[in-house]
Amino acid sequence: MLIDTTLREGAQLFGAYFRMETREDILSGLLRLGVDEVEVGWVGQEGLEELVRRIRHGAGETKLSVWSPCRSADIRTAATLGVDRVNIGIPVSDAHMGKRLGLNRKGLLEKLGRMVLSAGLAGINYVSVGLEDVSRADRSFALDAALLAQTMGASRIRLADSLGVLSPRDMCELVAAFRMHLDIPVAVHCHNDFGMATANAVSALQSGATFADVSVLGIGERSGIAATEELAAYMAVRGGDVKYRVEYLRDLCALVAGAAGVDIPRNKAVAGADIFACESGLHAHALSKSPELFEPYDPALIGADRKTAVGGKSGRAAVSSALGKGKTAYPAEQLDNLVASVRRMSWELGRPLTPNEFTDLADSIHKH
């Protein structure tokens, strides 16, 4: 299951400021996509209560949650927001406990136990406890914290690789260790500092985690977290999960990119403009015969289009195929001349030829 946190983690991206209308548009897009849970923001965030009120009636099966520090006043506030779940964050590494909170291990466990208990007493029916920096924490102590939270009434434990230092194998081992001892679901929050976030999230889900945090385009602190579009597409296409309406992904990515002021690389997985573009001769020729040879899924599944072009990497097969599409009567003996001309022109332009450029070039050679 996917917990989208674009409006919490994503909003922490340096320089990103989402206006209320934009937050509502993003939330509507996430509901249309069909994510299982949306973390709509954090306690104390301006306009949070209004946002929840605006979208509450249209949330359908998607659960709405909010992030809260492990403080009694914030937890009491969270209980009044009308969300389905409250995600309480608390660090479990010694460095964070000592330098951020001024607590030792015993003090942190006492605080955690009190806060989870108080959340239940405040009327919060679903308390998720996020163990921050768990990847650098003492494993046995982190397990003690998780078990205490479970005993005090927590409904979920969220494991945060806060600095993105884990590999997929490390993530599998971490999740398996917690799943072995817990009776409540495990979630993961994977940062992308070494480019591992999406792979770690997939590995976690395959190793027994029930939930994975994601954000659109992976935006968030520093290099962000696992990407909504990548996880949703993978689970829909490879996992056969029909609840995710992945045809809406690219529009959602464009919306978030504009709002956050980030560019989408043209080769960005799922969201990029050129991920189904092909110029290479062998690949282009194969695509014309059987697209699945060089495409992992039908572009139409995510609302994308296939495009092929001839250029400096094209050979006889690709150029012949392009001629056939253009319905140009062209003598076979002149094909080599056309291939050479296509390659030369493409290198001069520094890009593949447009359909009109190719047609004009073919006609010019044909006439001579």
- For residues 12 and 134, state if they share a domain: yes
84 occurs within a structural domain: yes
Q: Report the distance separating Cα 314 and Cα 341, nearest Å.
A: 11
Look at residues 199, 182, 186, 192 and name the one whose alpha carbon lies nearest to residue 161. Answer: 192
Phi and psi at 129, nearest 5°, equal -105, 120
Which of 228, 260, 292 is the C-terminal boundary of a domain?
260
- For residues 201 and 154, state if they share a domain: yes
| Entry pTM | 0.89
Determine the length of the chain. Answer: 368
- Does residue 298 have a pLDDT over 60? yes
Q: Report the distance separating Cα 311 and Cα 347, nearest Å.
A: 8
Per-chain mean pLDDT for the chain: 91
270 occurs within a structural domain: no
The pLDDT of residue 281 = 57
The pLDDT of residue 147 = 98
Domain that includes residue 48, residue range = 2-260
265 occurs within a structural domain: no
- For residues 247 and 328, state if they share a domain: no
The pLDDT of residue 289 = 62
Q: Report the distance separating Cα 219 and Cα 260, nearest Å.
A: 9
- For residues 7 and 150, state if they share a domain: yes
- For residues 21 and 156, state if they share a domain: yes
Structure tokens at 216: 């659109």
Question: Average pLDDT of 142-169?
Answer: 98
- For residues 177 and 95, state if they share a domain: yes
The strand pair at 186-190 and 277-278 is best described as: unpaired
- For residues 9 and 93, state if they share a domain: yes
269 occurs within a structural domain: no
Indicate the residue type of 92.
V
More confident residue, 291 or 187: 187
Q: What is the CATH number of the domain that holds 127?
A: 3.20.20.70
Tens digit of each residue's pLDDT (9 = 90 or more) over 217-268: 999 999 999 999 999 999 999 998 889 999 999 999 999 999 999 999 999 9
80 occurs within a structural domain: yes
The pLDDT of residue 339 = 85
Residue 368 DSSP code: -
- For residues 170 and 213, state if they share a domain: yes
Which of 233, 260, 287 is the C-terminal boundary of a domain?
260
- For residues 14 and 116, state if they share a domain: yes
Q: Give how far the C-alpha of residue 348 lies from the chain's centroid of Cα atoms, to the nearest Å.
A: 38
Look at residues 137, 130, 136 and name the one whose alpha carbon lies nearest to residue 156. Answer: 130
Tens digit of each residue's pLDDT (9 = 90 or more) over 71-98: 999 999 999 999 999 999 999 999 999 9
Three-state SS for 222?
coil
State percent of the chain over pLDDT 90. Answer: 73
Q: Report the distance separating Cα 198 and Cα 167, nearest Å.
A: 11
